[in-house]
Structure 1
């Protein structure tokens, strides 16, 4: 087997190795879509509450609206953290793919750098999922407190 054929086979192996991180980027992109949708819902609700707060109301209603606005702010912070961590994770995974090819083309030993970048990407992805979990927890807590839905505990029969 000549050197060019061996080089093509080696490059094919590098491409195979790079496929898994590319699928990971696709999964992160789907997560970003979920986060964007949740942030859009929070933003829409906050705009509605802001319009309501601008009109004079009794103290109880104003207090309830301000409480819900604070809850939405906490939720938006969680989404912001999740979004930022997801994007940084995707960037590190992209860097891993790039370093795989660079290490092959320039015969550089980037093994520790590649492993470190991948570990960092996974740590950021874990942080993103934890922040998303925190946001979901805050959303369900708001529901239980009755800030989003009316009290459905009464029997309709």
Structure 2
């Protein structure tokens, strides 16, 4: 076989290897969409509560609204952490794809770097999911405390 054919076949193998991380980037992008929507809901609710606090004369109501706003702030911090970790994870997955091609083109041994990037990306993604889970726990705890469904009884 000629050298050109071997190079083409090798490049095809590299492209096949790079497809899985590209699908992972798509999954992370979907996660970022979920996180963005949750943050938008938290922001909308915080703005509404802020208007109510500023227009209310009732100190008990203001205290209750401020408690809920503190809960929303905790939730937004969790979403911020999850968002940041997800973006960093996606960037590392992009680096993995780039390293795959770079190592093929320039014959550079990057096995340890490649593995390290992928492991770090997975750890960041796990952290992002844990932060999302923490935010969901905070949201459900707010509901159980009666902040959201207090008028149902």
TM-score, normalised via structure 2 length: 0.98
**Matched residue, 2:16:** 16
Structure 1 unaligned spans of 5+: none
Give the total of aligned pairs: 153
The residue number in structure 2 matching 1:74 is: 74
**Post-superposition shift, 1:56?**
3.1
Deviation (angstroms), 1:86: 0.1
The answer to whether residue 33 in structure 2 is matched with residue 7 in structure 1 is no
2:150 paired residue number = 150
Greater displacement, 48-57 / 134-143: 48-57
1:28 corresponding residue in structure 2? 28
Taking only aligned residues, the RMSD between alpha carbons, in angstroms, comes to 0.8
SS of the aligned residue for 2:55 comes to coil
Q: Secondary structure at the match of 1:54?
A: helix
The Cα shift of 1:149 comes to 1.9
Task: Show the counterpart of 2:94.
Answer: 94
Alignment of 1:113 onto 2:118: no
- Higher helix proportion (structure 1 or 2): 2
| Residue number in structure 2 paired with 1:62 | 62
Question: 1-side partners of 2:104 and 2:94: how far apart?
Answer: 16
| 52-61 or 73-82, larger mean C-alpha shift | 52-61
Q: Distance in 2 between matches of 1:47 and 1:110?
A: 49
Distance 1:29 1:126 in 2: 15
Q: For structure 2, which runs of at least 5 residues remain unmatched after alignment?
A: none
In structure 1, what is the equivalent of residue 49 of structure 2? 49
TM-score normalised by structure 1 residue count:
0.95
How far the C-alpha of 1:79 sits from its partner, in A, is 0.2
Question: Per-residue deviation at 1:57?
Answer: 2.5
